[in-house]
A and B are shown apart, each in its own frame.
Chain A
Amino acid sequence: MLENTEETPLIGLLNKIKEIQTAGDRLVQICATKIGGNYELLYTFGRDYDIRHIKVTIEPGAHVPSITDMFPAAYLYENEIHDLFGIAIDGINHDYKGGLYRTPVEAPFK
């Protein structure tokens, strides 16, 4: 499986990300995958060439807190996940409100 991956429950996500920010890592990417009926959010952080992942499994309909307070550049990833997977993300600093990708099917990856 993926190396350097830590699984964390949704409730502990922000604390975990805060720790990483304090350690001085940069955000590499955020991505979502639909596995079975649930969604896996994969947050990837890096320091120089080392990368590590935080994995959160959420159920459909769950609200995920935004991490843009700590990593301001995360807004594009979070908007993308909202538009493609229909996952609600609360408190994004630049919220496009579903207007980043205008697709004929709402949330095509849902």
Chain B
Amino acid sequence: MRISKSPWLLHYDGSSCNGCDIEVLAATTPRFDVERFGIINTGNPRHADIFLCTGGVNSQNQDVVRQIYDQMPDPKVVLACGICACDGGIFKDCYNILGGTDTVIPVDVYVPGCAVRPEALIDGVVKALKILDEKSEKMKRGEYRSLTSAEYAESLKKTDNKAEAAGMEEKDA
């Protein structure tokens, strides 16, 4: 049984302007209906397989984002929804914004847009499902475990490239 047949989704508002948040919610309602992929919006990180993060990370919520990520069971995928979650967007220059979601946790799929459109979001989720399957296959063969947020912070110190830092998980496992 593949996990991508019924992944559960968790949404956290980093420091977005709400625009992306309501689009995430709208994507679960009948018009766009991301639930047709068997997805259920859950509030509990320990039940979740997909983490949708909207908005940039700021100094007050970085620990919250890390904690939610670490509480999620393996395999898991992270979606950065909206341009602010991708790299900070219009708020990049603000004193309290550290950057996109990938400054604290590894991100698998980036979905840009201001605000992100539900169609784009569905596209991102479908991509994420593929990654989720790949990860779970590798896990079964014992070749993979995801980085904890602390390990990710360590690998970020070694390289500036965030994709490379996220990729270190596979070599280490």
Partner-B contacts on A (CB < 8 A): 101-105, 108
Q: How far is A87 from B59 in the complex, measured between Cα atoms in Å?
A: 22
Q: Are B95 and A102 in contact (CB under 8 A)?
A: no
- Chain B, interface size category, equals under 10
- B80-129 residues at the A interface, CB under 8 angstroms: 95-96, 98
Q: Which residues of B contact A102 (CB under 8 A)?
A: 59-60
A103 to B96, CA, bound (A): 6
State the majority secondary structure of interface residues on A: loop
Nearest CB on A from B77, distance (A): 29
15 cross-chain CB contacts under 8 A: A101-B60, A101-B96, A102-B59, A102-B60, A103-B59, A103-B60, A103-B95, A103-B96, A104-B59, A104-B95, A104-B96, A104-B98, A105-B95, A108-B95, A108-B96
Interface positions of B from 47 to 105, Cβ below 8 Å from A: 59-60, 95-96, 98
| Chain B residues within 8 Å of A103, by CB | 59-60, 95-96
Question: Which residues from chain A contact B98 at a C-beta distance below 8 Å?
Answer: 104
Nearest A residue to B97 via CB reads: A104
Contacting residues, chain A, for B60 (C-beta < 8 A): 101-103
**Nearest A residue to B60, CB-CB:** A102
Q: Which residues of A contact B59 (CB under 8 A)?
A: 102-104
Question: Nearest chain-A residue to B94 (Cβ)?
Answer: A108
Q: How far is the CA of A102 from the CA of B59 in the complex (A)?
A: 7
CA distance A103 to B97 in the complex (A): 9
Task: Name the residue of chain B whose CB is nearest to the CB of A105.
Answer: B95
Q: Which residues of B contact A104 (CB under 8 A)?
A: 59, 95-96, 98
Chain B's nearest CB lies how many Å from the CB of A99?
Answer: 10
Distance, CA A105 to CA B93, complexed state (A): 13
Provide the bound-state CA to CA distance between A93 and B101, in Å: 36
Give the shortest distance, in Å, between A3 (CB) and chain B (any CB). Answer: 31
Cα separation A100 to B96 with both chains bound (whole Å): 13
Q: Which residues of A contact B96 (CB under 8 A)?
A: 101, 103-104, 108
Q: Hey, which chain B residues are within 8 Å of A101, CB to CB?
A: 60, 96
Identify 12 new A-B residue pairs, CB closer than 8 A, beyond the known A101-B96, A104-B95, A104-B96.
A101-B60, A102-B59, A102-B60, A103-B59, A103-B60, A103-B95, A103-B96, A104-B59, A104-B98, A105-B95, A108-B95, A108-B96
Instruction: Give every chain B residue within 8 A of A108 (Cβ-Cβ).
Output: 95-96
Chain A: minimal CB distance from B64 (Å): 12
Q: In the complex, how many angstroms separate the beta carbon of A109 from the nearest chain B beta carbon?
A: 9
CB distance from A74 to the nearest CB of B (A): 23
